[in-house]
Structure formats: structure tokens, C-alpha cells
Amino acid sequence: MNANLLPPLLLVGCGRMGGALLAGWRRAGVAAVVAVDPARPPGIDGEVRYVAAAEAVPEGFVPAAVVFAIKPQEAEAVLPAYARFAEHAFFLSIMAGRRIAGLAARLGPGARIVRAMPNTPAAIGQGVSVACPGPGVGPSERALADRLLAAVGEVAWVEEEALLDPVTAVSGSGPAYVFLLAELLEQEGRRLGLPAELARLLARRTVAGAGALLAASQEDAAALRAAVTSKGGTTAAALDVLMAEEAWPRLLREALAAASRRSRELAG
């Protein structure tokens, strides 16, 4: 096998995030993938074999990693069927809220588990993932997990699993907050009299362009905000409303607290 290729992988779930990971692995180069998804017809597409259930994974297929990209609510029913791979593979879970200890209870006490939280910009290779290694995860498993996640964006690691709850609130759920901003900018632009197509263009390009500027700049977000805010100007008038304590500061604090709390609740 080409040493630069990702080793054989078993992907459980090919929804939005699982599909993004799979596309990233294919771009990076992968030896073979078996993808389990009952919603997709079985078949072979290049290096990827699609099957409908764990029982259909080809006999003799030995993955280096099993990646769970299913809904957290499906864990109890789905995970036990994959415990048989624990001898040769480690497990990478991107399920929100599901704790390593809970996963191990369904995969076996010797299971090596990495838990990670990516986000939806992974679909265009611009995601960010935060990963946490469980007991028994060694340097080789950690390195492979890093490669798998790096195929769709940047990767950071934490050693304290509890930090994945606020990570989920900030980055896992964060793209939805940005999309909501674009949605509201468009709605309010139309309400102020802009033609619908122009309101949509301005909202989307403003959010996308500001994000690109932020990514390219070495300055803090606060400095970039200040640079576009002239004293007594239009931006200052708007920010006086948005930055009032009862406005964005309080609402965002409450929103992130709610998301982090829900992440803890999903642990069961």
C-alpha cells in the first residue's frame, strides 16, 4: 500500500458530516473505505464500498479506524455491532454529547476511542475539529485521527473531555448562528426596501467576506470591528443597539449555555 494513502477505514453514517469526511479522505487519498448507510443503495464507487448494515461489511475487511458519524440518539442501537473491530481498529466518534465512557460501555472495555467535534464548513474543507483521546489511545491512533479530521480542515486537541461541551456550543453549533445572521440581514434588508435579490446578495457576501477577512487577518476580531466603526457613524449607531448588555452579549451567553447544556444532556 502507498504509505501516503490513508489506511482502510470503516465509516458508519454518510449524512452531511459523514459525507464531508468521506469526500475529504478521497481527496487526500485512501486505500479503501467501507461506508455503512441504510439510506444509500449498496454498491462500489471507486475505493468506497457502500453497505446497508454492519452485518454486510465484507468478511476479512480490517479497518484501521471505525468512524461513527451517526446521530447521538442512534448510539445504543448501532454501536454494539462494531465492537468486534476493537482488536485491530480504534474508534473515532463525532457524535455530539456522547461521552467516551458511554461509548466504551457499548464497544467493550478495551476499545480505544477518540471523540471529536467537527463543524459543517468541513463540507468545503474549511471546518475546524476539536478532538479528545480516551484511555489507551496511543500516538499512532492519535496521529491517524488527526489525519482523518485534517482532511476537512483544521484540528485542535484537548485532554479534558468536558471541554467538548463548550466546543460544541461555540464551533459545532456555531455555523448555524452565522447562517442566522445572514438570514436576518436579508430579511431586514428587504423590510427596509431593498429588492429581494439585492438583499440576499448583500447579506451573503457581507457575512462571507467578513469571515474571509477575519481568517486572513492577524488582528483580533475586536480590532477589526473597531476599524470599521467611526465615532458617531452608522456602524456605531447599530453597535450601540447590538452591544447593549441586554442584547447580543446576554443573548449569545444564554444561547451558548443552552447548547453546552444540551451537549451534556445527550450523554444520557
Residue 63 sits in a domain whose CATH number is 3.40.50.720
Query: Residue 2: inside a domain, yes or no?
Result: no
Domains contained in the chain, number: 2
Question: Domain range spanning residue 18?
Answer: 9-164
User: Do residues 128 and 157 share a domain?
Assistant: yes
User: Do residues 153 and 180 share a domain?
Assistant: no
User: Do residues 133 and 178 share a domain?
Assistant: no
The values of phi and psi at residue 247, to 5°, are -100, -120
User: Do residues 130 and 59 share a domain?
Assistant: yes
Query: Residue 17: inside a domain, yes or no?
Result: yes
User: Do residues 149 and 182 share a domain?
Assistant: no
**Final residue before a domain boundary, out of 164, 196, 223:** 164
Query: Residue 137: inside a domain, yes or no?
Result: yes
User: Do residues 160 and 180 share a domain?
Assistant: no
CB burial of residue 195 (10 Å; 0-12, 13-18, 19+): exposed
User: Do residues 150 and 186 share a domain?
Assistant: no
The values of phi and psi at residue 113, to 5°, are -130, 130
User: Do residues 195 and 135 share a domain?
Assistant: no
Query: Residue 169: inside a domain, yes or no?
Result: no
User: Do residues 156 and 189 share a domain?
Assistant: no
The values of phi and psi at residue 93, to 5°, are -110, 130
User: Do residues 70 and 194 share a domain?
Assistant: no
Q: Please, are residues 263 and 165 in contact by the beta-carbon 8 Å criterion?
A: yes
User: Do residues 51 and 93 share a domain?
Assistant: yes
pLDDT tens digits for the chain (268 residues)? 566 899 999 999 999 999 999 999 999 999 999 999 999 999 999 999 999 999 999 999 999 999 999 999 999 999 999 999 999 999 999 998 899 999 999 999 899 999 999 999 999 999 999 999 999 999 999 999 999 999 999 999 999 999 999 999 999 999 999 999 999 999 999 999 999 999 999 999 999 999 999 999 999 999 999 999 999 999 999 999 999 999 999 999 999 999 999 998 887 5
User: Do residues 219 and 144 share a domain?
Assistant: no
